Structures are given as C-alpha cells and as structure tokens.
Amino acid sequence: MIRLFVALDVTEEIRQRLAGLSGGVPGARWMDPASLHLTLRFIGEVPEDQAFDIDEALAGVRAPPFALTLDGVGVFGSGRRARVLWAGVERNEALNHLQAKVESALVRCGLPAEERKFSPHVTLARLKDPPQDRVARFLGERGLFRAGPMAVDHLTLYRSHLGNGGSVYEALRAYPLGREP
C-alpha cells in the first residue's frame, strides 16, 4: 500500500516568505520549508496497482494555469486542541475549479468521494497542546500576512512516508496545467 495525496507546490519565493513566519509557538513542529504545499486532495493508502489508475486520472485533468495569493494565517482546532497552524488562500475560483476537476477524476477512477469541504491552506506547523496565549499572539502578529500572486502551472502527486519524526513527502509525478489534449 502507498499513501498518496495531490498538492500544489509552493514556489521558492513564497517558500521563503512562509519560512519567515515560523517561530514563536513553543512545542510547534514547523514544516521543513522544502515540504510546504497546498493539499488539493488527500487520497490515503491505496494498493500500488491503483496508484497507476490514479496517475492516469491525474494526467487526464484539463485545467488552465492560474495564480493564487496567500492571505492571512489561522488554526485548525481551538484552545488546547489547536492542531495545525496554516497560511490561508485568497478566494480563488480557478483553484476551486481545479480542485473539483481533481476530485471528479479521482472518483471516476474508483476512489470514494471526499466528504469534507475543501478548505485551501498551506500547513505551517503541527501543534500538540500548545500554550494558548502564544497561539493567539502568533495569529495576532501574523494576521496581515500576504504573499503572491504565485503562478500555479502544475499539480503534483505526492507519496507520504510516515515516520517517527513526522511524515516525509516524496513527489512522484508532476502534471502540467494548460495542455491541449
């Protein structure tokens, strides 16, 4: 079985801006800047032969390239159960369109539909029982964060290797946007 997800890569310029946000929350596990990404669809564990179908399905996604802007920071979970610090994404119809195309391509190749609403973000850090005042201060101080626009011209299929020190992400294949069939 292999654990897969589909994401947009972050350009070097934006990577550096996001890396500049790290720090200030004791116990937070900050993402390695090289691993920053925007998940479009978590796939999960699939048998390797199904990965071939997924690859083919993603290669068939037709959508134009576009640009996106990162806007603000936030947290999933609240209080002591805050789990993830993230950078948000300005409302973007092209992004929603692409996500919907990826979703329908994956459902067509046999994966169960994603039940959760798409809430685009770039994970900055994972938290475990963080000091609430420090999370609040982080959000307050970084609330005006903006970066971009960033050009999006491909999707990437990632493999996630679970490990003790956190997951390691391996880019398996990139799929350019904007090709003619």
Whole-angstrom distance, CA of residue 128 vs CA of residue 83: 6
22 touching ligand 3AM, by CB under 6 A: no
92 touching ligand 3AM, by CB under 6 A: no
39 touching ligand 3AM, by CB under 6 A: yes
In the complex, least distance from residue 39 CB atom to ligand 3AM, rounded to whole angstroms: 3
One-letter amino acid identity for 2? I
Considering Cα of 7, then 13, then 17, then 19, what sign does the dihedral take? positive
161 is catalytic: no
Nearer of residues 123 and 138 to ligand 3AM, judged by Cβ: 123
In the complex, least distance from residue 2 CB atom to ligand 3AM, rounded to whole angstroms: 12
**H/E segment holding residue 29:** strand 29-30
42 touching ligand 3AM, by CB under 6 A: yes
Determine the 3-state secondary structure of 39 from DSSP. Answer: strand
In the complex, least distance from residue 76 CB atom to ligand 3AM, rounded to whole angstroms: 8
* Partners of 126 in the β-ladder: 29, 84
**Which x/- pattern, by CB under 6 A, does the window 122-161 give for ligand 3AM?**
-x------------------------------------x-
154 is catalytic: no
User: CA torsion angle for 47, 53, 56, 62 (degrees, to 10)?
Assistant: -110
175 touching ligand 3AM, by CB under 6 A: no
**H/E segment holding residue 53:** helix 48-59
